[in-house]
Structure 1
């Protein structure tokens, strides 16, 4: 019987040196990786993925959307996504023609099912929208959709990061 994934299985402490180096890892908030697929209007950074920590089944990071910015229409393939709003007000539009809309505020969770075309919008003109993002695989899949006309056009899209400054 394989006890590898059984939480009740006894732990062999001869693995302690492996656990010391391959066990729990803390990723500092100022050490996130911006080398991720991007969607116009938002800035994603990876904290947890295969390349950084060896994650096999999840991807986690942050996303920032500047005031009044609206992303392009996109989906994340077969991945499920969970967005936790930390600061600001999120407006999500989704559907074949982005005909559905909902808003979320700090403390709210947003679930985005696989293949759902959507658009993230910062609904607060006074502050950036900051969120934590978790996906069901270790790849940050982003499929930008150009043949869906957004209901809320991304006319104020700024890609702001350490390299690209606000105009």
Structure 2
């Protein structure tokens, strides 16, 4: 009797839905609970960041996502992120972004607002509130940390002793 006459014979070439269950169970959709973010990233005084989605945690190949909490008045130096695209979602607080060749442009964002930073745009990130921390969700278009500090542009708002530093904004030396 040929194998196709037995519906439960498994020596044929087509896939059954249950054949993929183990692969999808562990390599499919992942939910990262808010209380299970990874604080095992480089930390800097004045801020707290946690990774949610990265290569190490979930095998992400093309994005990094996490949270960042920035102390009042914290500011980065002038920099860009090479070919990376960045999205910042403001959860609470007030973010100010300055950008341009001389940081001549400025915009502010509050809770519920998204900020898009295109590749190679010189910019400075600022917690615009002197009293409240800035809570954000950050998504980058790659797992690789790219930051290019621009030292020949004088920041309009000088960085202070507390810096906005996340996995790709390194603390100034």
Matched, 1:73 2:78: yes
Separation (CA, whole Å) in 2 of partners of 1:115 and 1:99? 16
Separation (CA, whole Å) in 2 of partners of 1:147 and 1:75? 13
Match in the other structure for 1:6: none
Alpha-carbon offset, residue 158 of structure 1: 5.1
Q: Among 53, 57, 68, which residue is 2:58 paired with?
A: 53
- Whether the 8 Å CA contact 2:52–2:65 is kept in 1: the answer is yes
What 5-or-longer segments of structure 2 have no aligned partner?
A: 1-14, 166-173
Is the partner of 1:139 in helix, strand or coil? Answer: coil
Q: TM-score, normalised by structure 2?
A: 0.76
- Whether the 8 Å CA contact 2:41–2:51 is kept in 1: the answer is yes
Alpha-carbon offset, residue 74 of structure 1: 1.8
Q: Give the direction of change, closer, same or farther, for the CA distance of 1:112–1:38 in structure 2 (3 Å limit).
A: farther
Q: TM-score, normalised by structure 1?
A: 0.78
Which aligned segments of 4 or more residues in structure 1 are displaced greater than 3 angstroms? 10-13, 33-44
What 5-or-longer segments of structure 1 have no aligned partner?
A: 1-9, 161-167
Aligned length: 152
Q: Among 22, 26, 29, which residue is 2:31 paired with?
A: 26
- Whether the 8 Å CA contact 1:41–1:154 is kept in 2: the answer is no
CA RMSD of aligned residues (A): 2.8
Q: Among 123, 132, 136, which residue is 2:141 paired with?
A: 136
Structure 1 residues 8-157: aligned runs within 5 Å: 12-34=17-39, 36=41, 43-157=48-162
Q: Give the direction of change, closer, same or farther, for the CA distance of 1:145–1:56 in structure 2 (3 Å limit).
A: same
Q: Deviations over 1:100-124 (max 9, x none)?
A: 1000010011110001111111111
Q: Give the direction of change, closer, same or farther, for the CA distance of 1:41–1:97 in structure 2 (3 Å limit).
A: farther
